[in-house]
Structure 1
Amino acid sequence: MEKGASDPDPSRQRNGFVGVLYGEFTDTLNDRLRYSVSLTESALSIQRISSSPGRTRMVFNLTDCVGCRAYRGPDAVDVGAYFTAYFYPFKRRWMSAGVSRQRVEQCFRVALVQDPLVNLREAERWAQAIRDASGLQAPRRDGVVYTELRRPCRAMILVNPSSGRGQALQLFNSHIEGMLTEASVPYKLVITEHQNHARELVRKADLSQWDALVIMSGDGLLFEVINGLMDREDWQEAIQTPLGILPGGSGNALAASVHHYSQLPPAWNEELLLSCGFILCKGLVGSLDLVSVRLASRQRLFSFLSLAWGFVADVDIESEKYRHVGAIRFLMGTLVRLASLRVYKGRLAYLPVKGASEPPKGSTRANPPPPTPQRPSLCSSLPCRLAPNASPKPDSRHSANSNHGAITNSSINAVNSKAASPADSLLPGLDRPVPEGWTVVREEDFVLVLAIYQSHLAEDLWTAPGAAADDGVIHLFYVTAGISRPALLRLFLAMEKGAHLACDCPHLVYQRVRALRLEPSSLQGMITVDGEMVEYGPVEAQVHPGLARLICG
């Protein structure tokens, strides 16, 4: 007969959880195999009871636990009850020095008495205790203030079936659906059907029904969702809805960034998906900066990832023809664009973060003239990414990342007409000169300009290693004309490990800024916001720290 006991010592209690439970249970498949099981605030320890020496003991960290459930057996004659805990610990990758999360479940049979209801209550007691303890042990970054999702969390999950290689729905069914069931996360699955479907949906949705909005796609679908939330009359409350990301596209920049913020080793493909699914199930919520982007047509967009002009935007849009190959499309697009490198003429101005390095050569302060300008140290930490998630060409199949050409007034409602929306207090307006304190880069020939606010621009492009989702900073990079094709390629290759600033390339400039203005002089070119092509012309942007909320770890 199984034993069950608890330690009622108040000093062991935290948030209603009793510090220690102990019990003896049998294996679910073999009643002759017995285990002693103990639960503390940090771990579930399992030891096989045997007369032979060298008894096997397993310890599972509750940080790796997503849930636990109790249930009756399928056989009505069975008086026993069961509880199963689900863990996703790190294990060594096969033939690799890296680690990734792998699913492990531990199931036990409870048969204290011949009364099935008594046994079920005991199984439920253990399941609840494990759930409570694992919630307290969610992985947290030092110095970051988190809130927790409501339990059970009601999630609306939006999936773009055409993103990436068209496998997002299949990946959800094979990797995420079961994990959400294990974590007792009820959800509604919404399949997007056309461009701006997600935007229209969240703009009209009754958000009181949902504790989180989760996006499984590339970065373009989240762009739609954020701008749909900001379109609402109740945008201040709506934008506080926690946002989750599951990688299902080509670039997956935010998913890679969220994984990176969890202080985990790099992951790609299904390993990255499993990591983001785990983070979603743990349910910690932090702040997310948004950047307000104003275009010449007076449209106002809200961006969570990047603003790009030149090489990066060209690769992003032109690589659409290679979408069927997945993330490697960016490498192919990079090689094609390197073969015929373009140079763009324009002006750049920015408001540096207070205490940031002096402006680079060729730059001036708006007023008064600067002291002798110096390049920022290229060894300072915080790089950029150069192959964002892209948008399909106009005749491509539906994708929520799809532009179907540049975003226009007809496809996007301008938010700036709302007096209540957050004020861009740092932006003077495109028809006015930049204020005192801004740095102005004189008329220059650029190969690229990239403003990024997350650590990654793609799964394998670690652009700003020191960035955080809520650091209140736009990480601005630009490359001037004169750089050779091999040197530019070396920068991209170094970016895979976040080492491109250490290349000491004289044509690469990096600044940490609060706001910026870009004024292209070249008649032709492309500008992208979060990988989506927008109208070509003057643009200015400023960061709004912590405006949104992100499910992270």
Structure 2
Amino acid sequence: MDQRRAEPDFLPSATPVTLYGEFTQTSNRRGRWAVNLTEKDLVVQRLASAPVGRNKVVLSLRDCVGCRAYRDDDKADPSAYFAAYFYPPKKRRWMTSAPSRQRVEQCFRLAALQDPHANLEEAEKWARAVRERSARQQRLRDGVLLNSLPRPCRILLFVNPQSGKGQALTLYNSHIQRMLNEAGVIHKLIITERQNHARELVKDVDLSQWDALVIMSGDGLLHEVINGLLERPDWEEAIRTPLGILPGGSANALAASVHYYSGVSQVRGEELLVSCGFLLCRGLVSHMDLVSLHLSSGQRLFSFLSLAWGFVADVDVESEKYRHVGAARFTVGTLVRLASLRIYKGKLAYLPASRGRHTDKSLQNGAAACCRNPASCLTQTLEDDFPNNTCHSNNSLKLRRSEGRSSRSAAKALPGPPDALLPPLDQPLPSDWVLVPEEDFVLMLAMYQSHLAEDLLAGPDARLADGVIHLFYVMAGISRSALLRLFLAMEKGAHLDTNCQHLVHAKVRALRLEPGAGKGIITVDGEVVEYGPIQAEVHGGLGRVISG
């Protein structure tokens, strides 16, 4: 190996070279490659006497998940190796953006010395340098240091083998296991055996042994894990445990949302899995809003995704019979339900995210969230939660405190943080809430993430910790064709641009739904809950999620 500085024309002068070497590759020992490791890239160029077309590869360290040094089993061979693993975006001629990622491995052989330990030491120096520079690039964004998982990282990975098409374990074996090993992520695999199995486990697990909990399933398993964490006596510390999501179900809404927030184009299926696996290996951690929900029976749940009533909830539940077709089950369910469109009677009220008089147009376009730093709410108590927030007058706050005192006393036995905005379900709402005048609905959907499914961008403006609930409802009177156009537009997040007069969108901090008498379905994170009055309040930045 020739250890020296690179020639000036090898890289642009604006990109300083930090490490240079010449090696052979494991796949081709006849040729030699010059390798430059800068602060931002690993640059590989074949050394040849004559120019060779496309013989230089530049791999961004932002796309690197890991690097390791090792020796072969052949003890007579003094060579050592270092291998770097990248997942750069695929480039397709017919697309302007990079829709998915592909695996690229670069493996180099070091055999300059007869001492095998010296060769291995040099390989380890390179591997360590790649890991350190990669970590710096991934954690820095616009000069700001981002929170990330420690290295090496230990995760507890829950897999539901029955979710989606029943292929979660196969996908783990074909993609995720290798990615985690390449990234140096130590993980323990737990295969769930029944409903609420994961919920029971996380209530008792020693969280000090793990840096993150990761779910490979549909959204229902994550719902179990979040509620299990919040049912622990140490819930305040437990809910700070970073959560990871790998799509293994039918809808995979949070996985699609996390991918969307990373700023790349919408993908589905195994491409979405690889993208989320890459984000997991990078290990960047963000705050995530959670929503507290109270049911008429007194039960309290926490939600990370959605609350649905009417058309959306019916499709979600009734399409279970088509689970074998994967994400297409929702398309089939939508067409079936459109054929016999239902009207749902009920009362809907909400607390707007920003104060002031609302016109119909402002309701349809939504209002800006008033809490600009929702993560700061995480450590605040009930008494100092919103005193300086211009969205709530002192009088209205005192009214809520007075009306809600009895409910908070009863809520002391309930898990999780107390609610500041919700009076008991059997008491009237404060005067600053908005009561929807209509009582005939086709659907009500409260979203806190961008996606309702892999191919449904229901909340294009939503973010992980924006501190608001994105409330949508469709009033009765809409035609089947207009409703179908809405859902088709939702695939690209364009439904708010259709100017549909039956669709209303508002950004809210809390809401209450009182469905009319009769049978119906309400779902929380895609899971059926008891039918009856329900109310919700957002807790900004309460959870943690591994994202881009």
Q: TM-score range by the shorter chain?
A: 0.7 to 0.9
**Cross-structure match for 2:450:** 455
Distance (whole Å) between structure 1 residues aligned to residue 143 and residue 534 of structure 2: 34
**Cross-structure match for 2:46:** 48
**Cross-structure match for 1:390:** none
Q: Does 1:267 align with 2:267?
A: yes
8 Å CA contact 1:375, 1:509 repeated in 2? no
In structure 2, relative to structure 1, the CA distance for the partners of 1:223 and 1:416 (3 Å cut) is farther
Deviation at 1:522, TM superposition (A): 3.3
8 Å CA contact 1:183, 1:281 repeated in 2? yes
Which amino acid in structure 1 is aligned with residue 458 of structure 2? T
Deviation at 1:344, TM superposition (A): 0.7
**Cross-structure match for 1:308:** 308
Which amino acid in structure 1 is aligned with residue 85 of structure 2? Y
Distance (whole Å) between structure 1 residues aligned to residue 411 and residue 453 of structure 2: 30
8 Å CA contact 1:289, 1:304 repeated in 2? yes
Distance (whole Å) between structure 2 residues aligned to residue 381 and residue 431 of structure 1: 30
Which amino acid in structure 2 is aligned with residue 136 of structure 1? R
Q: What do residues 526-547 of structure 1 show as CA deviations (whole Å, max 9, x unaligned)?
A: 1000000000000000000010
What is the TM-score with the length of structure 2 in the denominator? 0.87
In structure 2, relative to structure 1, the CA distance for the partners of 1:30 and 1:451 (3 Å cut) is closer
Deviation at 1:113, TM superposition (A): 1.1
2:363 counterpart (372, 376, 384): 376
Q: What do residues 476-518 of structure 1 show as CA deviations (whole Å, max 9, x unaligned)?
A: 0000000000000000000001000111110000000000000
Q: What do residues 217-247 of structure 1 show as CA deviations (whole Å, max 9, x unaligned)?
A: 0000000000000010000000000000000
Deviation at 1:449, TM superposition (A): 0.4
8 Å CA contact 2:306, 2:526 repeated in 1? yes
Distance (whole Å) between structure 2 residues aligned to residue 19 and residue 234 of structure 1: 48
**Cross-structure match for 1:164:** 164
1:542 counterpart (513, 537, 542): 537
Q: Does 1:331 align with 2:318?
A: no
Distance (whole Å) between structure 1 residues aligned to residue 167 and residue 483 of structure 2: 32
Distance (whole Å) between structure 2 residues aligned to residue 141 and residue 126 of structure 1: 24
1:45-194 superposed matches below 5 A: 45-54=43-52, 56-93=55-92, 99-138=99-138, 146-194=146-194
Deviation at 1:50, TM superposition (A): 1.2
Q: What RMSD in Å do the two structures reach over aligned CA positions?
A: 2.2
Which amino acid in structure 1 is aligned with residue 465 of structure 2? D
8 Å CA contact 1:356, 1:512 repeated in 2? no
8 Å CA contact 2:364, 2:506 repeated in 1? no
In structure 2, relative to structure 1, the CA distance for the partners of 1:490 and 1:141 (3 Å cut) is farther
Bigger mean CA deviation after superposition, 319-328 or 88-97: 88-97
Which amino acid in structure 1 is aligned with residue 67 of structure 2? C
Deviation at 1:437, TM superposition (A): 1.1
Distance (whole Å) between structure 2 residues aligned to residue 202 and residue 6 of structure 1: 52
**Cross-structure match for 2:217:** 217
**Cross-structure match for 2:279:** 279
8 Å CA contact 1:140, 1:262 repeated in 2? no
Distance (whole Å) between structure 1 residues aligned to residue 485 and residue 415 of structure 2: 46
**Cross-structure match for 1:253:** 253
Deviation at 1:454, TM superposition (A): 0.1
**Secondary structure class of the residue paired with 1:334:** helix
8 Å CA contact 2:320, 2:329 repeated in 1? yes
Distance (whole Å) between structure 2 residues aligned to residue 311 and residue 204 of structure 1: 38
Distance (whole Å) between structure 2 residues aligned to residue 143 and residue 524 of structure 1: 54
Distance (whole Å) between structure 1 residues aligned to residue 263 and residue 275 of structure 2: 12
Equivalent residues, number: 497
Q: Does 1:39 align with 2:67?
A: no
1:2-21 superposed matches below 5 A: 2-5=1-4, 20-21=18-19
In structure 2, relative to structure 1, the CA distance for the partners of 1:142 and 1:327 (3 Å cut) is farther
**Secondary structure class of the residue paired with 1:322:** helix
1:471-482 superposed matches below 5 A: 471-482=466-477
1:21-32 superposed matches below 5 A: 21-32=19-30
Distance (whole Å) between structure 2 residues aligned to residue 545 and residue 277 of structure 1: 26
8 Å CA contact 1:315, 1:337 repeated in 2? yes
What is the TM-score with the length of structure 1 in the denominator? 0.86
**Secondary structure class of the residue paired with 2:424:** coil
Deviation at 1:4, TM superposition (A): 2.8
In structure 2, relative to structure 1, the CA distance for the partners of 1:143 and 1:262 (3 Å cut) is farther
8 Å CA contact 1:27, 1:109 repeated in 2? yes
Distance (whole Å) between structure 1 residues aligned to residue 362 and residue 35 of structure 2: 61
Distance (whole Å) between structure 2 residues aligned to residue 95 and residue 264 of structure 1: 16
Distance (whole Å) between structure 1 residues aligned to residue 300 and residue 414 of structure 2: 13
Which amino acid in structure 2 is aligned with residue 307 of structure 1? L
**Secondary structure class of the residue paired with 1:258:** helix
In structure 2, relative to structure 1, the CA distance for the partners of 1:334 and 1:511 (3 Å cut) is same
Distance (whole Å) between structure 2 residues aligned to residue 221 and residue 185 of structure 1: 22
Bigger mean CA deviation after superposition, 447-456 or 32-41: 32-41
1:434-473 superposed matches below 5 A: 434-473=429-468
**Cross-structure match for 2:318:** 318
In structure 2, relative to structure 1, the CA distance for the partners of 1:375 and 1:94 (3 Å cut) is closer
Deviation at 1:377, TM superposition (A): 4.4
In structure 2, relative to structure 1, the CA distance for the partners of 1:141 and 1:444 (3 Å cut) is farther
In structure 2, relative to structure 1, the CA distance for the partners of 1:66 and 1:233 (3 Å cut) is same
Q: What do residues 174-202 of structure 1 show as CA deviations (whole Å, max 9, x unaligned)?
A: 01110101000010000000000000000
8 Å CA contact 1:37, 1:46 repeated in 2? yes
Q: Does 1:431 align with 2:423?
A: no
Distance (whole Å) between structure 2 residues aligned to residue 416 and residue 85 of structure 1: 52
8 Å CA contact 2:346, 2:514 repeated in 1? yes
**Cross-structure match for 2:227:** 227
Which amino acid in structure 1 is aligned with residue 507 of structure 2? R
1:464-503 superposed matches below 5 A: 464-503=459-498
**Cross-structure match for 2:289:** 289
Distance (whole Å) between structure 2 residues aligned to residue 460 and residue 199 of structure 1: 28
Distance (whole Å) between structure 1 residues aligned to residue 358 and residue 141 of structure 2: 31
